[in-house]
A and B are shown apart, each in its own frame.
Chain A
Amino acid sequence: MDKFTTLTGVAAPLPMINVDTDMIIPKQFLKTIKRSGLGKNLFDEMRYDDKGNEIPDFVLNKPAYRNAKIIVSGDNFGCGSSREHAPWSLLDFGIRCIIAPSFADIFYNNCFKNGILPIRLPQEDVDKLMDDAERGENATITIDLEKQEIHGPDGGCIKFDVEPFRKHCLLNGLDDIGLTLQKGDAINDFEAKRAASQPWLSL
């Protein structure tokens, strides 16, 4: 996983609530056995018509946002399925940060596993950043994870919360499995106790 320290880039406005995982990456693209190459199908049914031509009005097709690194959106972003193809497709497109008032739990979790930072902010802060995002290339945003700050194009600064362990893993690009395997003794102890107290669980 790539480290996430600071990020500066254009933010694409997606001013709608309940952006679901079927919108982010429709099911026909889940048939891959790889993690890579999904960026071209990010938001596929909103981005292309049924002949595969770009829909010019969709934000990521507009010249100003083709290299966006951040998405600003509404409540409950990422609701729906557990498909990690959603963060994979965002990452492959180049999106490293999503800012919204709230996120669905599984999607939120999946982002951190892939070096993407989802930031929850109060609606009024999201509204302000949405306005900035509407200004396209003239309004880059900088995210500083260490300081937990978002710097807007006009010098404003918004603080955000992130859980300490998730922050630590993102800043250092840490692999969860490696960390957990260091706790091998605790897992062995747990399994021994479980086998004694709930023997019916063994298969």
Chain B
Amino acid sequence: MGAPKTLFDKIWESHVVDTQDDGTCLIYIDRHLVHEVTSPQAFEGLRNAGRKVRHPELTLAVPDHNVPTTDRSEGIKEEDSRIQVNTLDQNAKDTGIHYFPMNDLRQGIVHIVGPEEGFTLPGVTMVCGDSHTSTHGAFGTLAFGIGTSEVEHVLATQTLVQKPAKNMLVKVEGDLHPGVTAKDVTLAIIGRIGTAGGTGYVIEYAGSAIRSLSMEGRMTVCNMSIEGGARAGLIAPDEKTFEYIKGRPMAPKGAAFEQAVEYWKTLPSDEGAHYDKIVEIDAADIIPQVTWGTSPEDVVPVNGKVPAPSDAKDPGKQKAIARSLEYMGLTAGTNIEDIRIDRVFIGSCTNGRIEDLRAAAVIAKGRKVADHVSAMVVPGSGLVKEQAEAEGLHEIFLEAGFEWREPGCSMCLAMNPDRLEPGERCASTSNRNFEGRQGRGGRTHLLSPAMAVAAAVTGHLTDVRKLG
């Protein structure tokens, strides 16, 4: 028996193809996801160099960032968006990678599609030209975002040049209060470690509160790892994981599945494994969270107040708070629940899965979106949309005054026509509240799907637990 290893160590070590003298490694990539925004230059680079895609069968592509969420029968109206999606269509066709085009039922946000198809598996390495690739860590998958040059490198070689990350353990123990969701957990973690707290690390999430989460909830937590600076998040695979994967189209079947499960059971971190940093959080301390500023670390409990620059010690942080207050149009000391909103966005790779829509529908049922608020629900994929409609969730949303849209990234980053106008304030289930993220001058408050509905129906940020 060697030294005890973490989940990360085990996956990393089993994927090293070559190690250089300075510790730089060549690691094998088992699964590659591709979308239309960060791939055209990579395919062009391959063509210019006369190189081929080494393993088209290990690559799955889907357009998601640019696609309209309204009627798609007329295609994409914006020329540049249309060219980008058409370019992916053509590249997929030319190279033979798996592809779900815009009008395929399976189309959706790449990080929702991967798990749905069983493309995401425990113990594998997975990359995508997208920072929210960390989502797949929920399966015990070492998954992280890469740049376009690296996309090209993976297409050409099925490997990546990397140095190992450090290990961080974030342990959330105890029972979550009713009304507190995975989104609140991840926002609370980022509030604790800061937006750069995970830089250089892979975060392993553990503890009874994490184990108690569904696969959807675990994906929400891992999704936001990058907002805490960590390229990847990981959760040890368990029976819930195996159950989720079983029977999915691209997952192993029959004896191969049983063989895989035996291997997957060896992946969890060994007793006594070393972590370079450990953060412990008591689940009982977490109540619904909301961001007030322009960094995901600008987070407070919903019963809190907007902070003042003087609340920070560091001069750089003081300046950042002052800038955020001005951008957000907020005054220090304001109660979070007194902040009036104009728009609500429910969706994204963070919170666009079926469980998120169910949680939102529970609060929306029998209520009405406030008169001054415009609210939309954007399912994360065509399959999520289909499932939600089978359960009648769309009727609850429509009845309450929400728009019910086609799947895609939508107003998480506003590359399609869904965007905020300058000065508009949005309660959003997405992952980033950066300046201009949801549209130039737009103001984003990040929160859970249930909290987003609470804001929609009251017209201001509201503790969902008060709605009963």
Contact = CB atoms under 8 A, between A and B. Distances in A.
Contact of A84 (B17, B28, B147): B147
A33 B196 contact: no
B156 A177 contact: yes
A16 interface: yes
Contact of A165 (B22, B51, B146): B22
B129 to A, nearest CB: 6
11 contacts: A17-B319, A17-B320, A26-B440, A27-B415, A79-B195, A81-B130, A104-B196, A105-B199, A198-B260, A203-B57, A203-B98
Contacts, number: 186
Interface in A145-203: 163-165, 176-177, 179-181, 183, 186-187, 190-191, 194, 198-203
A105 B231 contact: yes
Given A16-B320, A106-B231, A187-B28, A75 B84 contact: no
B65 to A, nearest CB: 8
A40 B423 CA distance: 25
A194 B196 CA distance: 35
Contact of A201 (B124, B147, B434): B124
Contacts of B83: 31, 33
B158 interface: yes
Contact of B28 (A33, A34, A190): A190
B243 interface: no
A131 B12 CA distance: 42
A125 interface: no
A194 B31 CA distance: 13
Interface residues of B, number: 79
Given A22-B437, A181-B156, A186-B17, A176 B149 contact: yes
Most chain A beta carbons < 10 A, residue from B131, B163, B200, B317: B131
B41 A34 contact: yes
B40 to A, nearest CB: 4
A198 B263 contact: yes
Interface residues of A, number: 57
A74 B257 CA distance: 49
A104 B194 CA distance: 12
Contacts of A190: 17, 28
Contacts of A186: 17-18, 26
Nearest to B85: A31
A80 B434 contact: yes
Given A30-B37, A75-B316, A76-B196, A22 B432 contact: yes
A124 interface: no
A8 interface: no
A137 interface: no
Interface stretch (A53-61, A63-71, A89-97, A107-115): A107-115
Contacts of A181: 156-157
Given A16-B320, A75-B196, A84-B149, A163 B58 contact: no
B256 interface: yes
Contacts of B66: 31
**Residue of A16, A82, A105 with most chain B CB atoms under a 10 A cut-off:** A82
B161 interface: yes
Contacts of B87: 33
Interface of A: 15-18, 20, 22-23, 26-28, 30-35, 45, 50, 74-76, 79-84, 87, 102-106, 109-110, 113-114, 163-165, 176-177, 179-181, 183, 186-187, 190-191, 194, 198-203
Nearest to A79: B195
A183 B40 CA distance: 26
Contacts of B437: 22, 27
A84 B320 contact: no
A55 B171 CA distance: 46
Nearest to A32: B80
B38 to A, nearest CB: 7
Given A82-B131, A105-B199, A113 B149 contact: yes
Given A35-B41, A104-B196, A200 B295 contact: no
B320 A33 contact: no
Contacts of A80: 131, 432, 434
B38 A200 contact: no
A100 to B, nearest CB: 11
A201 B124 CA distance: 8
Nearest to A201: B30
A105 B26 contact: no
A159 to B, nearest CB: 18
A161 to B, nearest CB: 12
B28 A200 contact: no
B252 interface: yes
Interface string B128-146: 0111010000000000111
Contacts of B129: 82, 84
A106 B26 CA distance: 17
Contacts of B121: 200-201
Interface string B201-235: 00000000000000000000000001001010000
B398 interface: no
A191 B58 CA distance: 13
Interface string B33-47: 000011011001000
Given A22-B432, A45-B440, A109-B150, A187 B40 contact: no
B146 A163 contact: no
B250 interface: yes
Given A87-B147, A187-B28, 15 more contacts: A20-B432, A27-B415, A31-B37, A33-B40, A76-B199, A83-B37, A104-B229, A106-B147, A176-B153, A177-B49, A190-B17, A198-B263, A200-B259, A203-B98, A203-B250
